[in-house]
Structure 1
Amino acid sequence: MAATSACLSQQLAGVRAAGNMRRGAGNALRLLRAASSRSAATSAKTTCSVQQLESGVCVVTGASRGIGRAIALELGAAGCKVAVNYAGSKDKAEEVAHLIEQSGGEAITIGANMGKLEDIERLFKEVTDKWGTVDVLCNNAGITRDTLMMRMKPEQWQEVIDVNLTGVFYATQAATKIMAKKRKGRVINIASVVGLVGNAGQANYAATKGGVIALTKTVAREFSGRGITANSIAPGFIASDMTAAIDKKYEEMILSSIPLGRYGQPEEVAGLVRFLGLDPAAAYITGQTFAIDGGMTMC
C-alpha cells in the first residue's frame, strides 16, 4: 500500500511538473510572440527610414575619372542625384554627368579643390542650393606625391595631407552637419591598402590613408546616435591609367602577390559603395574598413 501511495505521489508530481512545463512553454511562447511583434514593428520603422536614402542626394569627390567616375555612374544608375566633383578635369566631369542623366539619374558638376576649405564649403552650398540636402558622401578625391622619406620635401608632404586627409575631414564635417539635422545619412571614405600595411616611397600617402581609416571610425562613433553610418574602403591594385603604364616585369611581380591574380576593376569598388550608401541591408554596418584587393592583405 505504501509502495502504491508512493507511486501515485510520483505520478501526480509528474503531472504537476508537466503542467508547469506546459504553462511555462505557453508563457515563453507568448513572450516570444510579443517580442517578435515588437521586433517586426521596430524593423519596419528602421527599414522604412533607411529606404528613404535610396535615390537620394550623393556627393562624390574626385569623380571625373577612375574609381570616382565609376562610383558616380553607379549611384546615378541607381536613380540618385549626384554631385560630380572635379579639381581640373571639367570636360571629363561633364561627360560623367551626361552619362548619369542618360541612365535616369540627375547630376551637376562642381569644380572644387578638396585641399581648400573655402572650396569645400562652396561645394556643399551649391549642392544644398540645388537639392536641399545631402544623403550620401563618398570621399574619393586623392593625390600622390611619391618619393622616399629622406627625399620628401615639405610641400610634397603637406599637399597630400591637405587633399587626402584634411579635405576628407572638412567634407565630412560639412556633410554630417546636414545629415544630423534629419538624423540619417551615410559616409563612405575611399582609403587604400597602403593605409593598412604602408608602402615604401609613400610615407605621405600612407599616413593620409591610415588617418582616413581612423577618422572613419571616429565619425562612426560620434554620429551613430544621429542615424549616420561611416565606413571606409581600402582598394588594392585597381585597373587605371597608372596600372596600364606599369612595366611588364613589375606587373608580373605585382600580380603574383595578389591571390586572385588580377587587378580589381573600378566598378567592383563602386558596387560596394552603392551597397554601403544605399542598401537597407547596410544600415547596421558602421566603423568598418573593407579591403578590395583580391586577397593581397589577408592575414
Structure 2
Amino acid sequence: MQEKRVALVTGAGRNIGRAIALHLGRAGLAVAVNVRSSQAEGQAVVDELTALGVPAMLCMADVTSRTAVQAMVEQVKAHWGRLDVLVNNAAIRHEAPLADVTESDWHTTLAVVLDGAFFCSQAALPLLVESPAGAIVNVGGLTAHTGAADRVHVVTAKAGLVGLTRALAHDLSPRGVTVNCVSPGMIDTVRRSSSSHAVPAHHAKHQPLLGRRGTADEVAASVAWLAGMEARFVTGQVLHVNGGTYLGS
C-alpha cells in the first residue's frame, strides 16, 4: 500500500494537465499520469515527476471507454493499492461555426468531457470512498459560463461538467468525497487545433482585469488546493481562475 496519497490526472500529457500532475507531485502525492495516445508526452511527465522524487506511473487509456477506464483504475489499485484524488482534465477544444460542427464533433467532444468524467468518477468511487480524504476535481472552462462563438459543442460539454460536479457533490458527500470544479479563463497554453477559424469570441470580447493571461501553474495550484486537506469543507463549488475576466458564481 502506497503511504502517500495517490492522484490520477486525466489528459495529463501537456499544458494544464501536466502542470496539475507536477503540482500534485510537489505537494506530496503519488501521481498516475493519464494520456490517450501521446505516450511520449505522458512518459515525459512521469520522468519529470520521478526526477523530483515523486512516485509516478503512466496510464494509457481512452476515457470515453468505460472498459478502458475501469482497467486504468485497476492498474492504479494494483500498483499502489489506493486512490485519493481524481482530476478529470481530459478535454477537446475544437472550434468551428455551428453549421460546420459535425455529428462526430458533437458526440466526440461530449464523450471526452462528460462521459470521461462520469466513467472515471464511477470507476474510482470504490477507492475514493476508502480514502480518509477522497476528492474529485473537474476542470471546466470560462465559456461554460460566458458562452462563445464557434464552440457550441465545447461550451455545452463544459457547462454539463458543472452540472455533473454539483450532482456528484450531493451523491458523494455522505461518503466523505468532495467534488469541485476549477474553471480556467484565458490561460497561456499551446493547443493543438484542427481548425483555422478565427480566435474564439471570448478572447476578443472579455479581457482579464489583471491585464494578462493566466498560467497553467496558477490553475494547477487551485486544483491542488481543492484536492488537499485544507479544502475538506468545500464541495459542489466552481472556482474561477480567470484574472477577473468573468465575475460570477
What is the TM-score with the length of structure 2 in the denominator?
A: 0.91
Which segments of structure 1 move beyond 6 Å, counting only runs of 4 or more? none
Q: Which residue of 1 aligns with 2:50?
A: 101
> In the superposition, relative to structure 1, how do residues 104 and 223 fare at CA in structure 2: closer, same or farther (>3 Å)?
same
- Pairing 1:266–2:216 present: yes
Q: 2-side partners of 1:91 and 1:79: how far apart? A: 24
Q: Which residue of 2 aligns with 1:193?
A: 142
Counterpart of 2:95 (choices 142, 146, 151) is: 146
Q: In structure 1, the residue corresponding to 2:7 is in which secondary structure?
A: strand
1:190 Cα deviation after fit: 0.1
1:256 Cα deviation after fit: 6.7
- Pairing 1:72–2:40 present: no
Q: Which residue of 2 aligns with 1:202?
A: 151
Counterpart of 2:67 (choices 102, 118, 123) is: 118
1:183 Cα deviation after fit: 5.8
Q: 1-side partners of 2:168 and 2:178: how far apart? A: 8
Q: In structure 2, the residue corresponding to 1:241 is in which secondary structure?
A: coil
Give the % identical residues.
32
Counterpart of 1:219 (choices 168, 173, 177) is: 168
Which structure would you say has the larger Rg? 1
Does the Cα contact within 8 Å between 1:60 and 1:82 map onto a contact in 2? yes
Higher relative contact order (CA 8 A, sep 6+): 2
Q: 2-side partners of 1:119 and 1:276: how far apart? A: 27
Higher helix residue share? 1
Q: In structure 2, the residue corresponding to 1:286 is in which secondary structure?
A: coil
Does the Cα contact within 8 Å between 1:79 and 1:106 map onto a contact in 2? no
Q: Which residue of 2 aligns with 1:275?
A: 225
Q: Which residue of 2 aligns with 1:173?
A: 122
CA RMSD, 1 decimal: 2.6
> For each residue in 1:118-177, what CA deviation from the matched residue of structure 2 results, as whole angstroms up to 9, or x when unmatched?
211111011001011110000001012321222211111000011011110110111122
Q: 2-side partners of 1:240 and 1:101: how far apart? A: 24
- Pairing 1:81–2:56 present: no
Question: Where in structure 2 are there 5+ consecutive unaligned residues?
Answer: none
- Pairing 1:57–2:6 present: yes
Q: 1-side partners of 2:75 and 2:63: how far apart? A: 15
Q: 2-side partners of 1:274 and 1:145: how far apart? A: 27
Question: Where in structure 1 are there 5+ consecutive unaligned residues?
Answer: 1-53
Q: 2-side partners of 1:260 and 1:250: how far apart? A: 20
Q: 2-side partners of 1:55 and 1:235: how far apart? A: 28
> For each residue in 1:200-237, what CA deviation from the matched residue of structure 2 results, as whole angstroms up to 9, or x when unmatched?
11111111111111100111111111111000011011
Q: Which residue of 2 aligns with 1:128?
A: 77
Counterpart of 1:257 (choices 185, 188, 207) is: 207
